[in-house]
Structure 1
Amino acid sequence: MPTHDLVVVANRLPVDAKTLPDGATEWVTSPGGLVTAMESVMRGVDSGAWVGWAGSPGEAPEPFEADGMHLYPVALDGTDIEKYYEGFSNATLWPLYHDVIVDPVYHRTWWDTYVSANRRFAHEAAAVTAPGGTIWVHDYQLQLVPEMIRSERPDVRIGFFNHIPFPPVELFSQLPKRNQVLRGLLGADLVGFQRESDSLNFLNAVRQLLGSHIDQRTVTVPGIGAVEPREVTAQTFPISIDTEAVAELTDDQDIHERAAQLRRELGSPKKIVLGVDRLDYTKGIRHRLKAWGELLNDGVIDPRETVLVQVATPSRERVDAYRQLRDEVELTVGRINGDHAPIGRPAISYLHRSFDRKDMTALYMAADVVLVTALRDGMNLVAKEYVVSRPDVQGVLVLSEFAGAADELRAALLVNPHDIDELKSATLRALTMPAEEQHEAMTSLRRQVLDHDVQSWARAFLEELQNAGSPAAPVERTVRLSGHDAPGREQLDDALASFARTPRILVASDFDGVLAPIVADRDAVQADPRSMGALRDLTELSGVNVALVSGRALENLHHHAGMPSSVALVGSHGAEVGALPSDLHADVLDAGTITMDENRQSLLDSITRRLQNIADQYPGSEVEVKPASAVLHTRQARGRGAGNATEAALEYARTLPDVTVTPGKEVVEFSVVDSHKGTAVRALARAAAADAVLYLGDDVTDENVFAELTDEDLGIRIGEGDTSASFRIEDTDDVAEVLERLLELRRER
């Protein structure tokens, strides 16, 4: 798979699927501001890519190219759309982040799906980014992605930009899993926001809820275990529009004619007032209609001379709050028109549909006043589009002080949309503003927007990102097999035959999940007799050494494996080495053995007590104590207890800078000695003077071994997942077949 210098990650790809008459699919570039910004930025890098959902449930299309961008679709099924997108993203986060204009809805299964969907985006992005590359993650749907990417790719720079508001800590604190969301964002090197208040809200939440040290705009993020602390910067980057594209449209005479035609179609009123919004409860449409209705009732606006055009683009119509909003808006429009519309023309022209960019520009050019009365908005680009659409330097912008655009467009008429009287007054003032005053205000507004377009926004963010954080040196992790990929059995048999002909070999294996099926009760584990028998028989052959390398404590491994002394046993991920067969050079391994001094033992005792407290809070969790480590096992935890216990353990890990912390399959191990299976197998190979090594493993801890194997060695992964192993088999039954086949081939040698 090719890799790229700059990878953008967003909920949606920058293209929409269009079905052609012959049934083929054509991908058409979406008309969004983010797409426009990234197109220009990506033209300046050697290789740019975009990771996102293609827009349809089900399997993702294969990666493809469009407009010079490499696109990598992420699969979302119907459940993901319901729970990740419509659920946690838009029924939980969206209302909470927009000042709880409607009540957020909380469902724990939504969170579970949000996590799994975020992991899919993160994994795809990590896989396609070049060593030392840059990943830019966008928006509230993907707040966990930065930390997930960092766990896979500590060598890359990661930026995150939040396009919607970030709420005050008093509101954010209501969010279940709030700390996980903050830590997800802190996986980035740079976290960007629309407004200064959003940046400060985020820093406040980090300070109060995580207790992190903050120096001005820099957050110190503690590492897990021995991983070094990192610094994360929070900054403000107000987004903008593609001003050049809008300006080109305003030079089009067809659009000028369309603007004039629109006035005629509306009955050639003296004044046109325009509202353009997604049909969303944050946009203040109900407040705007209430104010307009009262102005008509007061008799200060003549519906024969002034008309309100309200464009309400369809949005999230499967979400209850949005369906209810549409019903309320359409009922209000109908009532006002019934009360006030003159014959042959409306008092409010309500348009519940999308408009292309040309028609939208014509509407802006026709409008004397534009009302942007959002109750809460990250930015609101309608305000900026209107300003750039008026090269005649006329028109009036009424702008909510709660929209991000209000920070920049100070020459607009700023209003509090919750104050209906103030909104009415601002509307009347806009309708009566002299041309000279309009010219003065619009000149200021246009200068601000034209000098700060979307391309400059993107460049500013990426330049700041290059100066933020300290990514680790690029490390090429060799992923030989992805997901479920596996070479055929014939290839594996050929590799076994070649390995069996090697003069001196070491056959090493993990225990749980490889030689013994994983069971809920660790003490009830039963090794596969076929596998164990094959390993015993292998030790009797010339030039063969056998070792079991496990995360279990050495004594526990010895008890459950029941292997003869001809098999070397290594426990606690390499920290414990048992008695060695006579044909192994013991001095090679003795140099790597550990000694527990008083300080290490005291630290281990403290860790054990803390993990036991965590286990007590989540029934079913257990703590295992080894000579040099303590392990939290969550396999038998009830309900969501496994995830919650793991999260608590990792939270604790951030306070232990001198401890090696290894998360695995439903375990988190805290070792006061730095050791891993890769080091242990390498030492075993030296001790055996082996010409080649066969290793079988199923866990993330086994990847340390696979990563160090050479072309002469043979790595076999049991189960799914990305791996550095060269081969994959499904389960412990397959392991028995492989070992028996190796035994047969070695005997034939």
Structure 2
Amino acid sequence: MPGSADRPAHAPHRPDHDLVVVANRLPVDSRTLPDGATEWVTSPGGLVTAMESVMKGVDSGAWVGWAGAPGDAPDPFEADGMSLYPVALDQEDIERYYEGFSNGTLWPLYHDVIVEPAFHRTWWDSYVSANRRFARAAAAVASRTSTIWVHDYQLQLVPRMIRDDRADVRIGFFNHIPFPPVELFSQLPKRNQILRGLLGADLIGFQRESDTQNFLAAVRKLLGHHVDGQTISVPGLGAAPMREVTAQTFPISIDSASVSALTEDPEVREHAAQLRRDLGNPRKVVVGVDRLDYTKGIRHRLKAWGELLNDGSIDPHDTVMIQVATPSRERVEAYRQLRDEVELTVGRINGDHASIGRAAVSYQHRSFDRRYMTALYMAADVVLVTALRDGMNLVAKEYVASRPDLQGVLVLSEFAGAADELRAAVMVNPHDIDELKAAILRSLAMPEEEQQESMRSLRHQVMENDVQSWAHDFLERLEQSDDPHGEAKPVVRLSGGDPTEPEVLEGALAEFAQTPRILIASDFDGVLAPIVNDRDAVEPDPAALDTLRELADMPGVAVALISGRSLEDLDSHTGMPSSVVLVGSHGAEVGALPPWMQAEVLDSAALSMTPEKDELLQSITATLHRIARAHPGVEVETKPSAAVLHTRNARGRGADNATDSALEYAVTLPEVTVTPGKEVVEFSVVHASKGDAIDALARASAADAWLYLGDDVTDESVFGHLGESDCGIKVGEGDTAANYRIAGTPEAAAVLARLKALRQDG
């Protein structure tokens, strides 16, 4: 929806849509023209920017939301090929549902109480009634088996309300702002109703892994629901069956290709040059772009800037700051106070440091269109994103997408969701004014070569992970929620046993080695060490282990070993330093992490035993021992969260018979993860898989791509997660979802050595 939308046309002819987006606002604002007609213009905001390209690609898409003015809602209309269904909110709804409970209670609480939240029961009543109105409007226009995608904190009751009315639809919910720790969330009156409302969805998405974990913790502690990994078991009412709800992380993005393409527009390029001329052609231009909100850290940024000017670290004749503050929630008292404080601070700085004809801070309290903002980003030498707490912050990604010239520096708050992905930015704690000042000075003095290196990594992340990918990932995962058997089995990419042609593998390794941030992971037995009958006598290839240690010390490289062995066993046989992450028991045990890796991402995969699980594990172990006694040579291995039947040393047909007995027993254990492998059957009372482990490791290390070496059936869960830039290498024969194959352990060591050489040369 670039520019303006069409004027309202006739009402949509068929209120029966396959995809229905539900958000607090419609993606358009109304303007009254001189002749009295109404014009609908694309409204600003992260959600609209993110969703507009998604909705354009849908044949039958609808958007349900408030039209922006109190009173009766306009009739449904079409704009830019979308069917829009306005929801009515009267003035009391706006004051109590929107300004009150949504932005006076939920917003500050969810943002770590930067401003004290207020609690009023009448606000809650309006929140419930408004949510019901949105839910009914969405349910009325959704086709049978439709997908309904509900957005953000204003509508957290809507999923359950739709579920109660329309059991035939899939429901997704995405939370654009942070979800607070359970200690904060517990302060919220009606907290359990909020959780139950969200659990009406089949899939609940969050920006950051920490948000997902906070939500799961709240469900577990406050509702007492069973949580297994990312899956929540939601009990039905009476005899109704139990439902499974997934909570997962989906970092939102932008239409990065569209933003980047604007930089080639001659008018935009000229506008960028003119902006610098209008500022008097300063040596450096520093830009901040935010909604005028207390969570964005504008006051901290201006304080740091004022101090830099006061102590002479910055010359206002050489360096100019532009602060764009888009008007926001101006009827809410906290926002009115913030505007007064910001404008007072800007006035004081300019009074002290501005010269005639040039401001020390150019303050713009209004909205600008995308073309203007792209020009501004192109003119900026440094962009400051110093949010005190932010779900994502798309300004950071828009700036990166606007710099195909690889120039410019992004200063990014570690408390913005974008910090999880944009690791090459200059990270800062905005609460530490001295640190913020140092980050600004470092950015202003950053050499061109360092800027290019940083921006190249940032652009790879932003351009490869755009809004289309975000929406596709969410909707694809939501589609899978209809399958009671969970994820589909991975496709078979390679059959037989012929290794990949050397030149093909060499090309893949060379391309992978050039990726800015990579994760290299491997199974242990059968890859780094030949399979032997006595598991304790295993001898890994020392050269391969040395290569992994050296790779782990390279910039932008994360290394992990993911094994079915227990963590203790894996550690004893590899002797790896802390720079190499060890993952045991197929992901149920995680060793020490390097300090730069996000520990909370792996917490969900960490060992989580309870007395009940201990009791169940003891029962399973006893049964496996009975099977082993009936089949000489069969052994039972116990792990902290699993028991494993090993049949490698079984005599005669003992291996097959013992395996059959174990699998027959497995069907009686609906709460246990059973994984057959090479001459093993593992029973885990904690859900874990190598595929989940590789996903968590990739997120924790902010990897742009990963490579995995595996030889076992259990490694297929990893190969089934392969993305377009990832490399899966099967070691040995057999059908596989991997995209490359090598013969054995010597070739695995050679692959690692080649990767090291290519990375060094790059």
TM-score by length of 2: 0.61
Pairing partner for 1:449 from 462, 466, 481 = 462
Alpha-carbon contact 1:33-1:454 (below 8 Å) kept: no
Deviation at 1:453? Answer: 0.7
Deviation at 1:212? Answer: 0.8
Letter in 1 for 2:153: Y
Q: Which residue of structure 1 aligns with residue 444 of structure 2?
A: 431
2:166 is aligned with 1:153: yes
Alpha-carbon contact 1:33-1:242 (below 8 Å) kept: no
Q: Per-residue displacement from partner, 1:115-153 (whole Å, max 9, x unpaired)?
A: 000000001111111111110000000000000000001
Q: Which residue of structure 2 aligns with residue 258 of structure 1?
A: 271
Alpha-carbon contact 2:180-2:214 (below 8 Å) kept: yes
2:343 is aligned with 1:338: no
Closer, same or farther: CA 45–343 of 1 in aligned 2, 3 Å: closer
Q: Which residue of structure 1 aligns with residue 637 of structure 2?
A: none
Q: Which residue of structure 1 aligns with residue 200 of structure 2?
A: 187
Q: Which residue of structure 1 aligns with residue 453 of structure 2?
A: 440
Deviation at 1:43? Answer: 4.6
Distance 2:47 2:442 in 1: 34
Deviation at 1:46? Answer: 4.0
Q: Which residue of structure 2 aligns with residue 177 of structure 1?
A: 190
Pairing partner for 1:230 from 213, 228, 243 = 243
Distance 2:358 2:42 in 1: 37
Question: Is the partner of 2:40 in helix, strand or coil?
Answer: strand
2:168 is aligned with 1:124: no
Pairing partner for 1:141 from 154, 160, 163 = 154
Q: Per-residue displacement from partner, 1:7-33 (whole Å, max 9, x unpaired)?
A: 110001112212222211122333545
2:93 is aligned with 1:80: yes
2:72 is aligned with 1:89: no
Q: Per-residue displacement from partner, 1:516-569 (whole Å, max 9, x unpaired)?
A: xxxxxxxxxxxxxxxxxxxxxxxxxxxxxxxxxxxxxxxxxxxxxxxxxxxxxx
Distance 2:477 2:397 in 1: 24
Distance 1:398 1:2 in 2: 46
2:284 is aligned with 1:271: yes
Closer, same or farther: CA 269–5 of 1 in aligned 2, 3 Å: same
Residue segments in structure 1 that go unaligned for 5+ positions in a row? 472-749
Alpha-carbon contact 2:15-2:140 (below 8 Å) kept: no
Range 459-468 or range 354-363, more displaced = 354-363
Q: Which residue of structure 2 aligns with residue 377 of structure 1?
A: 390
Deviation at 1:344? Answer: 2.5
Of all paired residues, the percent bearing the same amino acid is 80
Pairing partner for 1:350 from 358, 363, 369 = 363
Distance 1:225 1:84 in 2: 32
Distance 1:309 1:9 in 2: 35
Letter in 2 for 1:453: D
Aligned positions of 1:189-204 closer than 5 A = 189-204=202-217
Deviation at 1:343? Answer: 2.9
Closer, same or farther: CA 46–302 of 1 in aligned 2, 3 Å: closer
Question: Is the partner of 1:274 in helix, strand or coil?
Answer: strand
Closer, same or farther: CA 306–42 of 1 in aligned 2, 3 Å: closer
Closer, same or farther: CA 38–352 of 1 in aligned 2, 3 Å: closer
Alpha-carbon contact 2:51-2:467 (below 8 Å) kept: no
Distance 1:314 1:46 in 2: 34
Q: Per-residue displacement from partner, 1:367-401 (whole Å, max 9, x unpaired)?
A: 10000000000000000011111111100000000
Distance 1:29 1:352 in 2: 19
Question: Is the partner of 1:370 in helix, strand or coil?
Answer: strand
Pairing partner for 1:324 from 315, 320, 337 = 337
Deviation at 1:335? Answer: 1.1
Pairing partner for 1:363 from 369, 372, 376 = 376
Residue segments in structure 2 that go unaligned for 5+ positions in a row? 1-13, 485-762
Distance 1:43 1:225 in 2: 42
Closer, same or farther: CA 304–84 of 1 in aligned 2, 3 Å: same
Distance 2:50 2:303 in 1: 36
Alpha-carbon contact 1:379-1:405 (below 8 Å) kept: yes
Q: Per-residue displacement from partner, 1:174-210 (whole Å, max 9, x unpaired)?
A: 1100000000000000000000000000001111111
Q: Which residue of structure 2 aligns with residue 247 of structure 1?
A: 260
Letter in 1 for 2:339: R
Distance 2:50 2:379 in 1: 27
Distance 1:395 1:373 in 2: 16
Deviation at 1:263? Answer: 1.0
Q: Which residue of structure 1 aligns with residue 474 of structure 2?
A: 461
Aligned positions of 1:30-109 closer than 5 A = 30-109=43-122
Question: Is the partner of 1:102 in helix, strand or coil?
Answer: coil
Pairing partner for 2:323 from 296, 310, 313 = 310
2:221 is aligned with 1:208: yes
Distance 1:416 1:462 in 2: 34
Q: Which residue of structure 2 aligns with residue 297 of structure 1?
A: 310
Closer, same or farther: CA 312–466 of 1 in aligned 2, 3 Å: same
Closer, same or farther: CA 227–167 of 1 in aligned 2, 3 Å: same
Q: Per-residue displacement from partner, 1:294-324 (whole Å, max 9, x unpaired)?
A: 1111111111111111111111110000000
Q: Which residue of structure 1 aligns with residue 230 of structure 2?
A: 217
Q: Which residue of structure 2 aligns with residue 390 of structure 1?
A: 403
Q: Per-residue displacement from partner, 1:702-742 (whole Å, max 9, x unpaired)?
A: xxxxxxxxxxxxxxxxxxxxxxxxxxxxxxxxxxxxxxxxx
2:449 is aligned with 1:401: no
Distance 1:431 1:303 in 2: 13
Greater relative contact order, per chain length (Cα 8 Å cut-off, separation 6+): 1
Aligned positions of 1:692-703 closer than 5 A = none
Question: Is the partner of 2:137 in helix, strand or coil?
Answer: helix
Question: Is the partner of 2:316 in helix, strand or coil?
Answer: coil
Question: Is the partner of 1:134 in helix, strand or coil?
Answer: strand
Distance 1:138 1:338 in 2: 43
Alpha-carbon contact 1:231-1:469 (below 8 Å) kept: no
Aligned residue pair count: 472
Pairing partner for 2:41 from 10, 28, 31 = 28
Distance 1:304 1:209 in 2: 57
Distance 2:457 2:142 in 1: 42
Distance 1:267 1:37 in 2: 35
Range 74-83 or range 8-17, more displaced = 8-17
Alpha-carbon contact 1:230-1:469 (below 8 Å) kept: no
Letter in 1 for 2:386: T
Letter in 1 for 2:35: D
Question: Is the partner of 2:295 in helix, strand or coil?
Answer: helix
Letter in 1 for 2:446: M
Q: Which residue of structure 2 aligns with residue 647 of structure 1?
A: none
Question: Is the partner of 2:290 in helix, strand or coil?
Answer: strand
Letter in 2 for 1:9: V
Distance 1:73 1:124 in 2: 8
Alpha-carbon contact 2:257-2:401 (below 8 Å) kept: no
Letter in 2 for 1:308: M
Aligned positions of 1:598-617 closer than 5 A = none
Alpha-carbon contact 1:190-1:469 (below 8 Å) kept: no
Distance 1:15 1:95 in 2: 26
Q: Per-residue displacement from partner, 1:270-313 (whole Å, max 9, x unpaired)?
A: 01110001110000001111111111111111111111111111
Q: Which residue of structure 2 aligns with residue 503 of structure 1?
A: none
Distance 2:381 2:475 in 1: 37
Q: Per-residue displacement from partner, 1:670-720 (whole Å, max 9, x unpaired)?
A: xxxxxxxxxxxxxxxxxxxxxxxxxxxxxxxxxxxxxxxxxxxxxxxxxxx
Question: Is the partner of 1:411 in helix, strand or coil?
Answer: coil
Letter in 1 for 2:303: K
Letter in 1 for 2:320: V
